[in-house]
Structures are given as C-alpha cells and as structure tokens.
C-alpha cells in the first residue's frame, strides 16, 4: 500500500527534509536518549542532534561491533523494490544522505559506486515493476537482455533465459567503518556517546530514566530504542514475540592471482533471483575478497551466545553455488567467513512506532535483512516521529500493530 502521492515521495527524496528547519524553529530543546548505535540508532541520534536536540547515544558493545547486524565489512546499497514506492524512495533518500555525509566528512572512500545487477528469468514480471518505479522516482536504471548480460559480464554463468537490470549509481558501502564514522561525527558535533548495557526499562505512562549494568541512572525527556536483535530482550513485554533474529552467513573468496574480473569496475554488486534460492554478493572491495551470501532466513539465533563459525554444510553449499555461477572461482580459497544475524519482523516491514506504554518512547527496528540500505532515511523518519513533525509522513506499514507473532516461510524474501 502506498500511503501518499508519488510526487510527495519524489519531493522528499530531492529535498533536505524538515529536520534542519526544526533546528531553526525555536522549539525547546529536549534530551533524547537513543539505545543502540547500529545503523538505525546512529542515524537517528545524528538527525536529532542536527535538529538542535541534546542527544545521548548508548551501545553495550560499541558502534557496529562484531555482534551487531550493522557490523561486517560491506553492504549493498541499491533501490530496487519492484512496485513498492515506500522502500524504493527510502533507499534513494538514504543514498542521497550518505553522499551528503561522505562529502561533508571527506570520507568518499567508504562508498564504492560499482553498480548493482539484478538477474532473473526474462519472463519475471518484476522486471517491469522495478524499471517503472525507479524511473518514476528519478533513478537511473538500465536493462539487459541475455545476450548483453553475457557480453558485459562473462565471468557470471547464467542460463539462456536470464536477463538483468543495473542500477549504475548503486554500490557497496564499507559498513562497519561507515556506521562508526556517523557516531564519530555525532560526537564531534556535540552528541554524547556512552558504552553501557541497559537493563529492561520500567515506567507507567512516561519513561523517566534508564538504568545500566552499573546501576547508573540515565534520565531523559524522550527515548528511542534501536537495539536491533536485542530489542526482544530489552523490551520483552512488547517485542519478545515480534522480533526474530536468524543466523546468516557470508563468505569471502580470494580471486586467482592477477585476475581482476571479480573486482571493480569489472564486477558489480549482484543479486541472483533465478536460482532455486536467492543469493547475492559484492565484488572484491578493497582486496578483502569476493563476497557471497545466502539470501534466505537461517535458524533462530542468539546475538550474545550463538556460535559465529560457518558450518560444514554451509561452506559446502556456498562452494557448490560458486562453481555453478562463477566457475573461475571454483577453486578460490575461502579467505574469510562471518556469521551475523538478521533482525526480522514477520512481514519483513520495518518496525518504527511509539512504545504502546510510554508516550515519550519510540522503537526503531525490524531491519529484516534489508534495513542497512535504508539506515539514513530511517533515522530521519524516526527522528521526525519523535519530534512530532509531519515530514516525512507516517507510514502505517511500520506500525507495531502490523507485526505478527509468527515468522513465515524462511525462504520468503523481498523481490
């Protein structure tokens, strides 16, 4: 469901939003406490600070730590979401905000504009939907038939009925470094960061304070909980049965000596929608290896205690896929592997809503494996909600009421 006009979505993408105006509006300054320094929390804190608020950002392990869903080497930044105007516009807005941030901080090196290739059967109806929505929102996008796909990317072995679309402005962001850069800039601009583990909050109609593991009290006027997979343990009464962390594995393979076919500019980010199960990956960015990842939901996962080593069957399955789609990498060594987690909602929509028991607290989570690419816009959206602004408008799909208590088919993914 699209909740407001496409022209308004385009205006929001192209504009600077309402938060900068908020800083000049004469509104009284409040103290916001944001729990979680991942992609959602870091950008929410950053936007609140830019809007003239006093902000404290808290994380138990540190920004983009190795257990966080926002940690890791790299993430794909792209905007392809079929006919879904909501997520397409959020992704485009996020790329705009990343570009502005990287320009202001001279950290252009963190974004690799390598393009994002999506491959599917030529009969797949999502082709038309992807192209139409991206073009209506002003994004550059190209389509390739099978002949052109094979000519441009001979290192990818595809079936004869497979075609593709390419978003040339999409690419790969160095995830861990980028999130940490947002937190660093937040502190430089006057925000406060502290490393603490927050106990389960308690309160009636309003939340007055948080208490950490040292029994220190952190008072605030308003609170945002953006703790990723820890939301279900931090707020068990509200989210214990609505957030589902799952085990996800990524692999990095070393290309053959002197072989540049799997590094930029020869290789883009990519997604395979024509195999039995979805796979995706990134080229060899900064010589760390060719990234390959499962695109379906894994088993239930505890972000604190579960083992973070790939299992033999996972390694074997990835190797079989590599041999099939990237035959030149059939014997490539596995140079690195990482087990992380998705933090899912049952319908894969984000969860950004007011806490049902506290009028001054908000929840921002439910990244569902695709949240990172939307982080800057989600931070902007969450900050706007917490400040009571009308722009961007409320999206009903993000509501707590829309979140079921059972995870559906684990191979079900967005287009």
pLDDT in tens, 127-184: 999 999 999 999 999 999 999 999 999 999 999 999 999 999 999 999 999 999 999 9
pLDDT (0 to 100) of residue 203: 87
Q: Is position 376 within any domain?
A: yes
Q: Which residues, listed in sequence order, are joined to residue 164 by a DSSP beta bridge? A: 119, 144
Counted domains in the chain: 1
Q: Is position 117 within any domain?
A: no
Instruction: State the Cα–Cα distance between residues 247 and 313, nearest whole angstrom.
Output: 14
* Residue 408 pLDDT level (bands cut at 50, 70, 90): confident
Q: Is position 292 within any domain?
A: no
Instruction: State the Cα–Cα distance between residues 203 and 217, nearest whole angstrom.
Output: 14
pLDDT (0 to 100) of residue 407: 80
* Residue 415 pLDDT level (bands cut at 50, 70, 90): very low
pLDDT (0 to 100) of residue 414: 46
Q: Is position 263 within any domain?
A: no
Instruction: State the Cα–Cα distance between residues 131 and 122, nearest whole angstrom.
Output: 13
Nearest to 134 by CA among 112, 116, 158, 152: 116
In contact, 131 and 141? CB cutoff 8 Å: yes
In contact, 114 and 189? CB cutoff 8 Å: no
pLDDT (0 to 100) of residue 7: 55
Whether residue 19 has pLDDT greater than 50? yes
Q: Is position 280 within any domain?
A: no
pLDDT (0 to 100) of residue 410: 60
User: What's the pTM value of the predicted model, to 2 decimals?
Assistant: 0.94
Instruction: State the Cα–Cα distance between residues 261 and 253, nearest whole angstrom.
Output: 13
In contact, 109 and 190? CB cutoff 8 Å: no
Average pLDDT along the chain: 93
pLDDT (0 to 100) of residue 14: 61
CATH of residue 59? 3.50.50.60
Q: Is position 136 within any domain?
A: no
Quick one: tokens of 185?
């800039």
* Residue 4 pLDDT level (bands cut at 50, 70, 90): very low
Question: What range defines the domain where residue 65 resides?
Answer: 1-112+171-242+345-415
Q: Is position 48 within any domain?
A: yes
Q: Is position 7 within any domain?
A: yes
Whether residue 8 has pLDDT greater than 80? no
Distances (CA, A) of 299 to 185, 307, 341, 342, 407: 36, 12, 10, 10, 11
């Amino acid at each position: 469901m699209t909740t407001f006009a496409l022209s308004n979505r385009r205006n929001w993408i192209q504009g600077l939003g309402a938060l900068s105006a908020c800083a000049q509006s004469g509104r009284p300054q409040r103290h916001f406490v944001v729990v979680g320094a991942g992609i959602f929390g870091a950008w929410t804190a950053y936007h609140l600070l830019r809007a003239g608020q006093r902000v404290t950002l808290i994380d138990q392990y540190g920004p983009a730590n190795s257990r966080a869903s926002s940690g890791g080497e790299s993430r794909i930044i792209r905007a392809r979401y079929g006919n879904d105007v909501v997520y397409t516009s959020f992704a485009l807005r996020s790329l705009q905000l990343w570009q502005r941030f990287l320009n202001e901080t001279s950290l252009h090196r963190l974004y690799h504009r390598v393009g994002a290739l999506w491959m599917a059967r030529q009969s797949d109806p999502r082709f038309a939907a992807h192209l139409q929505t991206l073009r209506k929102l002003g994004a550059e996008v190209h389509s390739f038939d099978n002949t052109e796909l094979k000519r441009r990317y001979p290192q990818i072995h595809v079936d004869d009925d497979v075609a593709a679309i390419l978003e040339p402005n999409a690419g790969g962001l160095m995830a861990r470094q980028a999130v940490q850069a947002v937190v660093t800039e937040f502190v430089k601009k006057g925000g406060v960061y502290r490393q603490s583990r927050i106990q389960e909050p308690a309160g009636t109609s309003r939340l007055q304070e948080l208490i950490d593991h040292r029994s220190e009290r952190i008072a605030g006027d308003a609170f945002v909980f953006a703790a990723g997979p820890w939301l279900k343990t931090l707020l068990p009464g509200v989210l214990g049965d609505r957030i589902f962390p799952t085990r996800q594995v990524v692999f990095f393979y070393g290309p053959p000596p002197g072989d540049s076919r799997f590094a930029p500019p020869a290789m883009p980010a990519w997604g395979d929608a024509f195999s039995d199960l979805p796979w995706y990956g990134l080229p060899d960015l900064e010589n760390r290896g060719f990234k390959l990842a499962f695109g379906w939901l894994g088993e239930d996962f505890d972000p604190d205690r579960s083992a973070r080593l790939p299992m033999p069957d996972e390694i074997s399955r990835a190797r079989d896929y590599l041999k099939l789609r990237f035959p030149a990498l059939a014997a490539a060594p596995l140079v690195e592997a990482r087990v992380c987690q998705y933090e899912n909602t049952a319908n894969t929509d984000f969860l950004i809503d007011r806490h049902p028991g506290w009028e001054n607290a908000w929840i921002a989570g439910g990244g569902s494996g695709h949240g990172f690419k939307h982080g800057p816009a989600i931070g902007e959206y969450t900050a706007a909600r917490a400040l009571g602004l009308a722009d961007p408008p409320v999206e009903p799909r993000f509501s707590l009421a829309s979140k079921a208590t059972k995870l559906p088919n684990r191979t079900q993914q967005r287009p």
